[in-house]
Amino acid sequence: MLDWTELEAQCLSCQRCALADARHHVVFGVGVRDAEVMLIGEGPGENEDLQGQPFVGRGGQLLDEMLELIDLSREKNVYIANIVKCRPPHNRDPLNTEQDACIDYLRNQVALIRPRIIVCLGRIAAMRLIKPDFKITREHGLWFEKSGVSMMAMFHPAAILRDPSRRPDTFMDLKSLQAKIREVCTHTYQVMRNQELSWGGYIFGPAKPTHINTYTHKKSGTEYSAPLLHSFLEIQNRQYTAIPDF
């Protein structure tokens, strides 16, 4: 297993398959390297190839909006990567041979990150990471446990853009992901708890966080613990559910 520096260097100069010939950039991955949640797509498209970052086109914008609904972001608390790191021509599905040539990079990324949750974005990632006969229309949103990692697939953002009738299902899948994060993750929502703290501070006056799961109301000195913070969060989330048009 390589460390991040070696892995990235090796990946950026990779010649293991023919996709290397036409690429502008290797799209290694982006996000927080101690994330508990990893999102895995199939492979870079045109914009990603030009910019060297995963999910930066229209689909990427939609993905960011979807993640924001449940307080996730590539800057804050998730890591995003692909099955293959170079763009397949004309955005065709990556061939099995290309996936096989590339998959060790992803394995190494998963080994370094040790996520609690892996979300496959689309059929190709789900077939590779969850099971070869995965049926995205029937099995999106279902949880699979593999080696202690909770895995699920959602529709690929590009598929949602093509067919907006997939949005309600995707919204339910995001809610299920949010619930799973609360169940199995320890720090994914910590950053958000700081937001909750300032949100609580907004309602109750200036707040001083003591430690990450508590909040001290400055005037009364009352300490609120995580469940109350979570009820703040529920109110926040209800606000979000009023805007399902991601």
Q: At its nearest, how many Å lie between ligand URA and the CB of residue 241? A: 27
Q: Which is nearer to ligand URA, 109 or 196 (CB)?
A: 109
The token pair that represents 115 in the structure block: 């996520």
Q: At its nearest, how many Å lie between ligand URA and the CB of residue 158? A: 6
User: Angle at which helices 58-69 and 167-184 pack, to 10 degrees?
Assistant: 50
Q: Which residues contact 28 (CB under 8 A, 6 or more apart)?
A: 8, 11, 12, 52, 81, 85, 105
Q: Which is nearer to ligand URA, 110 or 207 (CB)?
A: 110
The token pair that represents 128 in the structure block: 């590779």
Q: At its nearest, how many Å lie between ligand URA and the CB of residue 121? A: 6
Q: Which is nearer to ligand URA, 116 or 128 (CB)?
A: 128
Helix (H) / strand (E) element for 4: namely: helix 4-12
Q: Which is nearer to ligand URA, 47 or 176 (CB)?
A: 47
> Are the CB atoms for 81 and 106 separated by under 8 Å?
yes
Q: At its nearest, how many Å lie between ligand URA and the CB of residue 78? A: 14
Cβ atoms within 10 A of the Cβ of 190, count? 13
DSSP-assigned beta bridge partners for residue 121 = 154
Q: Which of 222, 178, 170, 169 is nearest to 200 (CA)?
A: 222
Q: At its nearest, how many Å lie between ligand URA and the CB of residue 45? A: 4
Q: Which is nearer to ligand URA, 106 or 229 (CB)?
A: 106
- Closest residue by beta carbon to ligand URA: 41
> Are the CB atoms for 87 and 19 separated by under 8 Å?
yes
Residue with tokens 């909750």: 196
Interacting residue ranges for ligand URA, rule: CB under 6 A? 27, 41-45, 48, 54-55, 59, 82, 121
Q: At its nearest, how many Å lie between ligand URA and the CB of residue 41? A: 3
Cβ atoms within 10 A of the Cβ of 228, count? 15
Q: Which is nearer to ligand URA, 49 or 196 (CB)?
A: 49
